[in-house]
Structure 1
Amino acid sequence: MEWKQIPLGLLQTNCYVLYNQQKDCIIIDPGSEGDKLITYLAKEELQPKAILLTHAHFDHIGAVEVIRKAFKIPVYVHEKEASWLTDPSLNGSQLFLNGRSIIASPADKLLKVEGKLTIDEFTFEIFETPGHSPGSVSFYVKDINTVFAGDTLFQGSIGRTDLPGGSHEQLLNSIEEKLLILPAETKVLPGHGPTTTIEKEINLNPFLNGY
């Protein structure tokens, strides 16, 4: 199993395409530029099976409708942010995009509990990691020692907590209790910027001193 990082949109939000030898794939956080993403998938002859959202801020959901309609695949989001897809005042587009709203149809599947999620040949461990937003989740793939962390943990930084529903204390708890307990060599694939590892963030991240 392999993955491709594709920064999309004005905020260069990292979309990830996780794929296997059979050319099936899962799309994580298609934030914008749906046509660019479709072109990549066609070039690589990949067949999407689902869209997973680490959370539902506008810069992570901007291409959801384009991709869902193109491939007729389900969208997964945490139940605490189910209404964010349809509400630009909640997903932040109304505030940050100068009146331009990003609206998607409701999710097909709501994530309600932590645990295993299996989609065809792909298996994820779902961790609830709120703090950046109430319904933030991280998707851990044990087979490749990788966690898709959304805007929870970055290289040398952590997610912002000054948006509606954010909590600095909750975010630090999420990182400590759900992410830092993973094996040191685990790759962290964040919502923005370069990839990192759990070991590097424990040793070098200034926001995590003492962990």
Structure 2
Amino acid sequence: MQIHTVVAPVFATRCSVLVAPDGACVVVDAGAGAAGPVRLLVEQHGWRPQAVLATHGHADHVWDAAALCDAWGVPLVLHARDAYRLDDPFGTLGVLDPRDPAGPLTAALAAAGADVGSWTVPARVEPFGGDEPSGRTADVDLDLGGVRLRARHAPGHTEGSTLYLLDGVPAAAGAPVVLSGDVLFAGGVGRTDLPGGDAATMAQTLAQVVGALPPDAPVLPGHGPATDVRTELATNPWLPR
């Protein structure tokens, strides 16, 4: 399995293209402005798109999902507890609502040439999960046309925030690569003050979900540099010791 990264211009969201040995591929977190570079990358290599995944439903992680899903005829896959956000991804952003002319997202979208009024929901949306008991580390095995990964519910930043664990990446030396979205960053964690965020739930996620990850696992956050679980457990001030 290979991982290729495209950085979206709005909030520098990490968009990951996961490619199986047979050329099947899945895109994770299609941020605003990522669709063009991602389509070019896929076409240049002759890969076969199977799905677009979202680590959560915030606009900066799903903005270009429809552009890719509808062009390729593939679904957007995300946790069921964040599926409601697709109906109004801006209204669930609170202080980041791009309809606020003074908001930081407004300027970022304008700089990327994105039109706030152009949001569309992908034609196919396929939620998973949604029935996990509170506090349980629950995995859902996803097989998306040969791209296999584990979805691990990690709420707190949003209700449906999810870690995606990908096995079989040569550079990871046997540990799964963790696509952490906005749950875990290098030296930080996701904010909990936006609608649907919850500090107590995030604390539980950091202790029980992040804390249980293999120490050698590489981490690819939704924003910022890559890291690994061992480094974050040792140095990240937000993680329990």
Fold match, TM over 0.5?
Answer: yes
TM-score normalised over the length of structure 2: 0.81
The corresponding residue for 1:172 is 203
The corresponding residue for 2:72 is 71
Determine which structure has greater relative contact order: mean sequence separation of CA pairs < 8 Å that are 6+ residues apart, divided by chain length: 2
Between the two proteins, what is the percent identity of the paired residues?
27
Q: Which structure 2 residues correspond to residues 106-145 of structure 1 after superposition, within 5 A?
A: 107-113=124-130, 114-144=139-169, 145=176
RMSD value, Cα = 1.8
The corresponding residue for 1:194 is 225
Asked if residue 162 in structure 1 is aligned to residue 190 in structure 2, the reply is: no
Q: Partner letter of residue 5 of structure 2?
A: Q
Alignment CA distance shift 1:72-1:107 (3 Å): closer
Contact 1:139–1:147 (8 Å) recurs in 2: yes
Runs of 4+ aligned residues of structure 1 deviating over 3 Å after TM superposition are 91-99
The answer for unaligned runs of 5 or more in structure 2 is: 107-114, 131-138, 170-175
- Which whole-Å deviations, capped at 9, do the CAs of 1:31-84 have from their partners, x for residues lacking one? 122112211211222211101111010100111111012111111111112121
Q: Which structure 2 residues correspond to residues 1-211 of structure 1 after superposition, within 5 A?
A: 1-33=1-33, 34-87=35-88, 88-90=90-92, 92-95=97-100, 96=103, 97-98=105-106, 100-101=116-117, 102-105=119-122, 107-113=124-130, 114-144=139-169, 145-208=176-239, 210-211=240-241
Contact 2:28–2:52 (8 Å) recurs in 1: yes
Quote how far apart the aligned CAs of 1:107 are: 5.0
Contact 1:82–1:106 (8 Å) recurs in 2: no
Contact 1:85–1:106 (8 Å) recurs in 2: no
The corresponding residue for 2:109 is none
Q: Partner letter of residue 166 of structure 1?
A: G
My pick for the range that moved more, 94-103 or 170-179, is 94-103
Per the alignment, in what secondary structure is the counterpart of residue 67 of structure 1? Answer: helix
- In the comparison of the two structures, how many residue pairs are matched? 210
